[in-house]
């Protein structure tokens, strides 16, 4: 189901008459059309999995890594535009190290998810920026045990037991 917001979809700072920001929804479509990413929270940890997309036989199998370590205790799997995802990961890494250098303890996963989400949301507020075209599944293990969060291009972040984004998410969820 695709809806066209003629005239109201040119800028991320424009609302449509029915209260939607179409640019953010289009950004979410970029994520929906990309390779699947799945995350599961278990009793003793987190499991993240990505669908490996091989665009050419010339490509080295180990490249195009989509699961990144953010800190000693947390990691992130990226779906959507790869370059946008790389920015989010870089930001998460520096948030995590900065938190630790100020507060002296590894960043709680809830706090990290909030910071990543507010950074992603930040880029939906200004006309001279475009929203991130990538969604992220963030998993970590802190004092309160393993936790799994998903951050969408709109900046929304929820905590999940299991989450999936990308092309095959419907199949993954059933």
Which residues make up the interface to other proteins (CB under 8 A)? 87, 91, 94-95, 98, 101-105, 108, 110-111, 114-115, 118-119, 122-123, 126, 129, 143
Of 5 and 140, the one with the shorter C-beta distance to other proteins is: 140
Provide, rounded to whole angstroms, the least separation between the CB of residue 1 and other proteins: 32
Of 17 and 104, the one with the shorter C-beta distance to other proteins is: 104
Provide, rounded to whole angstroms, the least separation between the CB of residue 102 and other proteins: 7
How far does CA 138 lie from the centroid of its chain? 7
Residue 22 φ/ψ, nearest 5 degrees: -70, -35
Provide, rounded to whole angstroms, the least separation between the CB of residue 123 and other proteins: 8
SS3 content of the chain, % helix, strand, coil (to 5): 30, 30, 45
Q: Cite the DSSP H helix spans in the chain.
A: 22-32, 82-103, 109-122, 169-173
């Amino acid at each position: 189901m695709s809806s066209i917001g003629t005239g109201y979809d040119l800028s991320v700072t424009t609302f449509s008459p029915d209260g939607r920001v179409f640019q953010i929804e289009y950004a979410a479509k970029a994520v929906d059309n990309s390779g699947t990413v799945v995350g599961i929270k278990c009793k003793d940890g987190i499991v993240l999995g990505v669908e490996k997309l091989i665009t050419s036989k010339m490509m080295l199998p180990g490249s195009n890594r989509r699961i990144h370590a953010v800190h000693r205790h947390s990691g992130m799997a990226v779906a959507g535009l790869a370059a946008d995802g790389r920015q989010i990961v870089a930001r998460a890494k520096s948030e995590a190290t900065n938190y630790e250098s100020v507060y002296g303890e590894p960043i709680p996963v809830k706090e990290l998810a909030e910071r990543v989400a507010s950074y992603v949301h930040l880029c939906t507020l200004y006309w001279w920026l475009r929203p991130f075209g990538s969604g992220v599944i963030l998993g970590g293990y802190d004092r309160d045990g393993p936790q799994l969060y998903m951050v969408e291009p709109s900046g929304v972040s929820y905590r999940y037991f299991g989450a999936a984004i990308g092309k095959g998410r419907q199949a993954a969820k059933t």
